[in-house]
């Protein structure tokens, strides 16, 4: 009688412990999935931006491209401080 009661308590404890571990592992996996989804969304956004930029550069003629590039290129007169 006492032995079967101890077995029952051990079984209930083991079930509780396995359930808690399962919930923890599930939460960790969901966190990993969220991180992967964020990384994939960022990659897709970067790819779209790169594609749009590439298309814009292909459309521009050389003179207009040179004019726009002057905004981003350092002048020869400027020196590093």
Q: In this predicted structure, what is the pLDDT of residue 26?
A: 96
Q: Between the CA of residue 8 and those of 3, 11, 41, what are the distances in Å?
A: 9, 5, 49
Q: Where are the domains of the chain?
A: 38-70
Tell me the whole-structure pTM to 2 decimals. Answer: 0.55
pLDDT tens, 49-68? 999 988 887 777 777 777 77
CA distance 33 to 7: 38
What token pair was written down for 15?
Answer: 């079930």
- Residue ranges, the chain, pLDDT below 50: none
């Amino acid at each position: 009688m006492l032995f079967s009661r101890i077995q029952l308590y051990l079984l209930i404890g083991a079930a509780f412990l396995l359930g808690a571990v399962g919930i923890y592992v599930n939460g960790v996996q969901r966190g990993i999935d969220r991180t992967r989804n964020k990384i994939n969304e960022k990659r897709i956004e970067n790819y779209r931006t790169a594609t749009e930029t590439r298309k814009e550069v292909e459309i521009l003629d050389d003179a207009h491209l040179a004019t726009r590039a002057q905004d981003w290129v350092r002048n020869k007169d400027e020196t590093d401080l």
